[in-house]
Amino acid sequence: MKLEIEKRIFEVFPDAKIGWLLAEVKVEPSNEYVENMKKGLIERLKDIGISQDTMMLHPDVAGWREVYSKMGVKPSKYRSSLEALLRRTFKGDIWSVSNVVDCYDCVSAVNLLPMGAHDTAKLKGDLVLRYGREGEKFYPLGAGDSVIDVSPKNILYADDEKVCCWLWNHRDTRDASLSESTKKALFLVDQAFDTEWKTVQEGLKLLSSELEKIGCKTINSGIVNAGSPSSEIF
């Protein structure tokens, strides 16, 4: 399987990058280490100058709003996964999905980098970050039988059969999500512009370290960008 970025994306977002990490995982409902990560998340964010009042002043958060505007959607209605995560955190709406999902969400927040993951057994063919196509449908995770019509302006991740994540990192599909039966996962770290706080490389390093602490094992990792728009995953 390859991970690729469609060349057209670089015409609008020349600094676009995807950090990827392939790992063996053991998905469980919860984990003491991850629960402590979540409890200390607000303080860690405050230590880097991020609060409920200041988060939208940080260019690594606010920059995604411009990206979403260029995708033809209202950024006040459709938010990057990073902004949505920070808003939930400061509202006290601490999520509980699984040890692995909660872990990478915490890493995403403190690095100010959007992150996601897919079950590799549910991916078909190559995974490509590309523009949407007329007639495509998206089936979002956690939304019942809801179906979203994809616009050609939308940037999304798609394999050979389905849209895996809509609006770059806004929402994952229900058809490639992690579950307790997941054995291997592909983690993705998104960058659409030059970041000020942490690089994709730094985000990958911390992600690998934290996943190892909850019993996961990194198999391989890498970065896809304008200079190397395709990478062999497995």
Give the model's pLDDT for residue 94.
77
CATH number for the domain spanning 85: value is: 3.50.40.10
pLDDT single digits (tens) 127-166: 999 999 999 999 999 877 899 999 999 999 999 999 999 9
pTM: 0.97
What is the per-residue pLDDT across 159-210, written as a single tens digit (0 to 9) for each? 999 999 999 999 999 999 999 999 999 999 999 999 999 999 999 999 999 9
The answer to whether residues 68 and 78 touch, using CB atoms and an 8 Å cutoff, is yes
The 10s digit of each residue's pLDDT in 56-83 is: 999 999 999 999 999 999 999 999 999 9
Per-residue pLDDT, 144: 78
d(CA 167, CA 149): 12
Domain around 49:
2-232
Give the count of domains, the chain: 1
Question: Residue 229 — pLDDT band, cuts 50, 70, 90?
Answer: very high
Q: Tokens 């690089």, residue?
A: 199
Mean pLDDT score of the chain, rounded to an integer? Answer: 97
Confidence band (pLDDT; 50, 70, 90) for 223? very high
Residue 12: which of 67, 77, 94, 60 has the closest Cα?
Answer: 67
